Structure 1
Amino acid sequence: MRNVMSGRAGRVVQASSIGVVHLHNDEPTPVPFQLPPAPRCFVSRRDELAAMEGWPLLVISGPGGVGKTSLALRWLHDRRDRFPGGQLYVDLGAHAPDGPVAPEDVLEWFLHAFGLKDVPASLAARQAMFRSVTAGLAFAVLLDNAVSSAQVRPLLPASGTVVVTSRWRLSPLGTDGARFVEVEPLGLVDSVRLLENIVQDDRMGAEPDAAGELARLCGGLPVALAVVGARLSARPRRSLGRELSELRAERLPELDADASVASVLDLSYVDLPDPQARLYRLCAWLPGTSFGVEAAAAVAGEPVDEVGGALEDLVEKNLLSELADDRFRYHDMLRTHARSKADATREEGLRRAIEWYVAAAVSADLAAKPGHQRVGPRYQDTGPMAGEPLEWLELERPNLIAAVHSAHGHGWPELVWQLCEPLWALFLHRHYYSDWIETHVLAINAAHECGEPLAAARLGNRLAMAYVNLHRYDEAVAVLDAVLAAGLDDPVSETTALSMLGRVHLGRGEPEAALRCYRQVLEVRVQRGRERGAGMARRRIGEALIELGRCAEAIGELERAEAQLADPVERARVRTFLARACAGAGRLDRARSLLDSAIRDLRTSPFHRADAFVVLAGIAEDDEEARDHYRSALACYRDPADPSAVRIRRLLDRHEHSAAADVIPEQTTGEHHRDPG
């Protein structure tokens, strides 16, 4: 059979021969270009650049500060047109304060960068998905600061170019076809050339001996040469001889390379004005690997407008790197140096920074999900964020997660749970399951430690939702049982837990037990006069009744549910279930009419729209119509590995290879994209 595809789509994974596909997804697949900026000053390395040509796996090794990342960035930026599929970047954190990054976390980030939302939990499944997505793709990956070949190997894609940097050679990657490029410190001539490029005057030529001695003291390391060059550039009348004298005054002249580099950094540090020196010390303790001006202002306890100028000065002195507008990071050697400088206000500053992250995350959460009930105290005095709150949460996600762990490590449990609560919109919409589960486990324990059982219960329901979405039902039940056993006088927590238990029962094929849960939820919400909550409970009751084959009862519940709901998407969602019930009762014309209406109203909700197409396929008048509806349902998913997309693909395969069973099609797709309850 010839396969024909028309329309626009994201990544397409061939399932089998499927004939003609009509695509309805207008959302383009993102092309990630994540590389940090190319180095501003770069010299020599001609041999290393030549050695990198023609190899799909490159391992660049050498001592800290020698310029491994700069070499990789220079090579990748110069060849960007070779990688139309994108360029991924990750700092694997070999020397990060919090330790190396786990490969499964990196794979989750990469898959999300390609627009995939529902990422499986296990490392093996994530590897398989990453290789499927990257098969035949012309793209590049920079794995910076790797700690071992074991960390790198799971991150190798099916195609494309991978560049790894590490202080170690990572010889075992030779079995994966790696080309090893060893980077040595710059020679004397190239070191002086780099200083000339930074300083941009004729002092190097006027004082060649002093220039050579400065280069020697820097050990041929670009990170140290850049700091010295920045000092000289800021002092155009200073002679090289005087600079050399000050360096020697800091340390004895006969020092090893490491001590000489420390001397260079120390001299630049002691020369900083007090506000810059303090900022240099304190920002090194911020959670995460990069930070913005606001976080820097928080850790320093200074106004943003004053801190911005100081950060720019640190960039000019090459003590910080600027990743983007108002976005900064340390070279790992400079972070270590900054942390070595004592500051009595460090703990106070770090707590202030985490408190800022709490307030900012609360503001983003209020904008992303207005009208929802919250527990944290910061919601009382914080307004909604302007702009794009989900984009802010996505940008700051590594720092927010690191801040949760930092608060936990410093014994600040109130900040742990208060920071976890406003991350809900991020996890609900982007499905970072590893972070979702880790942060919520910490936050629930922290809430109990603080004597906040209500916060623990609300967070417990959210943790249970992650487990249910991953089909980890036993873990979900353990969490939900704890919520219900707490004996709180909080109908919201209790009914949400019961509703989630209903989802567990449906997932296990126990609709009678699910129905009992949903009826309890309905009773409480009716008593409390919660019109929308009652409507949602009736919708779930209708779903359970359909699974039990009691379609006439389901029709009545679902009609009442639609009448109680005001949101057009929620009403359309009810009509999809009502159509299933009508189909089960033999009222096919009404079912088709309901589905046509639902599909029109679900244009902004592609996962729920897919549900309606699946039901239409189940009541189609002929095989070709059924196949067309299944294809339309598949086209609603950008992520071919989404569990719901996989299930629809199996239905399509089954329909093409055998006669369709005369049953009402099950409907669980889209379920994991909504709030619990």
Structure 2
Amino acid sequence: MAEVSDDTRHLYDLFGVLPGTTATADLLRAVGATRVDAGLGELLSSRLAVLVESADRPLRYRLHDVVRAHARQCARALPEERWRSLLRLVVDFYADAAAHGDALVLGARFRIQPPPVRPLAELGVRKALFTGGADALEWLDAERDNLQAVIRVAADEGWHQEVWRLCESLWALYHSRKHLADCVESGLLGIEAAQHEARPDVEIRMRNQVARAAYELGDLDRAESQLDAATGLLEPAGDPRLSGVVWESRGLIALARGRSEATPRAVGERAEEARQLFERALAANRAVPDPHGVVVQSYNVAQALVAGERWTDALGVLDEAAEVARATGDEPMLPRIDLVRAQAFVGLGSLDRAVAATVAAADRAASLKQLAKLDQALELLAALADRAEDRPLRAACEEKLRELRRNMGLEPPAAPPA
């Protein structure tokens, strides 16, 4: 390192402090680096760092593995107070950035943490880190590994508020991109952080996030265990929306158990159980009132009605939910509503309207970069094409599914029978 400038040497030390493996110029400036562009250029030309490029994501820089190990040794040689203060700047940068990203991706959903003090414009030097929900979701996904590393380090340092703030904000990423193992790992750390701070409201939210991830992974018993623990905290937490959150998750589990039941009667009973739970969650959100919560729980009620083969009732609920979503700018809920609407049309035997609703869901999900919902829409559209004996449409959907799932790191769909 003797051949580089002092500013570049300082930048090198900062790389050693970072919990993750990559950094943007904005992050490095946020932790006090100067002459960042020149220093990064010097690290690149000295072959100490490499550029991680992507067509649709900001430039990121990474030290070579051996170099990074050396940089971390050098950083650990800094005075303890200096090292911790730099690390705290990194954690605070990510906590604020993730909160802004969550707000753009999921809008006015119920959150426990207050909005970040620093405006988004302060986190980016030349331009904002992201603009709009789709852009924010891409930023969160690009920073995914770094964010997980930051949560682990914050937990190790005992920065409990930052741990649960990050976990709450990252629901926008976990739910939209289905990084379910990450959600479980960070959620368990969030539970510990909430317990350290004696925050039953936060613990309910963290346990619910772990429960939702377990539910989507098919581990319904683990999901219910987390919800049982959360239920015991509802009275001291106080906020009725937290009760709604727990009832919602219990309703989803009831629907999942219904799908595995052997008889139509059992399926119907589970659907009715879920509907009642969602109705309780809906009432809790109307009492606040929380417009986003009203839309979400109305959508869930419609899911239960579809499961109970009450197709026309479901469409009425969905129309009301869509009207509220449009009036309040709750765009992320519209593709979800369209997907359930399509299922109701299938139940009524209206294949053309089902296809139209599914295409609308796919278009909206793609524009918002909600890849998990886009996957569901394409899968449903392929099934509808199969029913209509439209082989070109089915082939096109399967090709898009293969490409999407490769990009998401998922398995491609099984080949149809010959």
Task: Tell me whether 1:611 sits opposite 2:380 in the alignment.
Answer: yes
- Which amino acid in the other structure matches residue 78 of structure 2? D
Aligned partners of 2:289, 2:398: CA distance in 1, in Å?
39
Aligned to 1:562: 319
Give 1:309 shift.
2.8
Give 1:442 shift.
0.8
- Which amino acid in the other structure matches residue 513 of structure 1? E
Alignment of 1:192-591 (within 5 A): 268=2, 274-299=6-31, 301-303=32-34, 306-316=35-45, 320-324=48-52, 327-341=60-74, 342-344=77-79, 345-383=82-120, 385-387=129-131, 388-487=135-234, 488-509=237-258, 510-530=270-290, 533-534=293-294, 536-549=296-309, 551=310, 554-566=311-323, 567=326, 569-581=335-347, 583=348, 588=349, 591=350
Whether contact under 8 Å (2:303, 2:314) holds in the other structure is no
| RMSD over aligned Cα atoms | 3.5
Alignment of 1:33-182 (within 5 A): none
Give 1:276 shift.
4.2
Q: Deviations over 1:467-498 (max 9, x none)?
A: 11111111111222222221122233221221
SS of alignment partner, residue 50 of structure 2: strand
Q: 1:475/1:277 Cα in 2 relative to 1: closer, same or farther (>3 Å)?
A: same
Q: 1:574/1:548 Cα in 2 relative to 1: closer, same or farther (>3 Å)?
A: closer
Q: 1:643/1:508 Cα in 2 relative to 1: closer, same or farther (>3 Å)?
A: farther
Give 1:580 shift.
4.2
Whether contact under 8 Å (1:376, 1:418) holds in the other structure is yes
Q: Deviations over 1:82-101 (max 9, x none)?
A: xxxxxxxxxxxxxxxxxxxx
Whether contact under 8 Å (1:483, 1:494) holds in the other structure is no
State the TM-score, normalized to the length of structure 1. 0.47
Q: Deviations over 1:322-346 (max 9, x none)?
A: 3258643334444444444421111
Aligned partners of 1:558, 1:343: CA distance in 2, in Å?
63
State the TM-score, normalized to the length of structure 2. 0.73
Whether contact under 8 Å (1:460, 1:479) holds in the other structure is yes
Aligned partners of 1:471, 1:286: CA distance in 2, in Å?
35
SS of alignment partner, residue 441 of structure 1: helix
SS of alignment partner, residue 602 of structure 1: helix
Whether contact under 8 Å (1:465, 1:476) holds in the other structure is yes
Give 1:536 shift.
4.4
Whether contact under 8 Å (1:364, 1:389) holds in the other structure is yes
Give 1:316 shift.
4.8
Q: Deviations over 1:195-246 (max 9, x none)?
A: xxxxxxxxxxxxxxxxxxxxxxxxxxxxxxxxxxxxxxxxxxxxxxxxxxxx
Q: 1:578/1:528 Cα in 2 relative to 1: closer, same or farther (>3 Å)?
A: farther
- Which amino acid in the other structure matches residue 401 of structure 2? Y
- Which amino acid in the other structure matches residue 321 of structure 1? A
- Consecutive unaligned residues of structure 1, counting only runs of 5 or more, are 1-264, 657-677
Whether contact under 8 Å (1:515, 1:544) holds in the other structure is yes
Aligned partners of 2:63, 2:356: CA distance in 1, in Å?
55
Whether contact under 8 Å (2:247, 2:277) holds in the other structure is yes
Q: 1:450/1:630 Cα in 2 relative to 1: closer, same or farther (>3 Å)?
A: same
Aligned partners of 1:376, 1:561: CA distance in 2, in Å?
30
Q: 1:335/1:324 Cα in 2 relative to 1: closer, same or farther (>3 Å)?
A: closer
Aligned partners of 2:115, 2:293: CA distance in 1, in Å?
26
Q: Report the structure, 1 or 2, having the larger helix content.
A: 2
Aligned partners of 1:391, 1:315: CA distance in 2, in Å?
25
Q: Which moved more, 1:417-426 or 1:324-333?
A: 324-333
Q: Deviations over 1:403-431 (max 9, x none)?
A: 11111222222222222232223222322
Give 1:563 shift.
2.7
Aligned partners of 1:404, 1:272: CA distance in 2, in Å?
32
Q: Deviations over 1:374-398 (max 9, x none)?
A: 3334535433743432332233222
Q: 1:546/1:416 Cα in 2 relative to 1: closer, same or farther (>3 Å)?
A: closer
Whether contact under 8 Å (2:299, 2:321) holds in the other structure is no
Aligned partners of 2:44, 2:351: CA distance in 1, in Å?
63
Whether contact under 8 Å (2:335, 2:362) holds in the other structure is no
Q: Deviations over 1:101-141 (max 9, x none)?
A: xxxxxxxxxxxxxxxxxxxxxxxxxxxxxxxxxxxxxxxxx
Larger radius of gyration: 1
Q: 1:343/1:503 Cα in 2 relative to 1: closer, same or farther (>3 Å)?
A: same
SS of alignment partner, residue 401 of structure 2: coil
Aligned partners of 1:600, 1:580: CA distance in 2, in Å?
14
Q: 1:571/1:291 Cα in 2 relative to 1: closer, same or farther (>3 Å)?
A: closer
Aligned to 1:161: none
- Which amino acid in the other structure matches residue 283 of structure 2? E
- Consecutive unaligned residues of structure 2, counting only runs of 5 or more, are 54-58, 121-127, 259-269, 327-333, 366-373
Q: Deviations over 1:584-635 (max 9, x none)?
A: xxxx4xx335324414523414423543664686xx5xxx738888767655
- The number of residue pairs the alignment matches comes to 363
Q: Which has the higher contact order (CA 8 A, sep 6+)?
A: 1
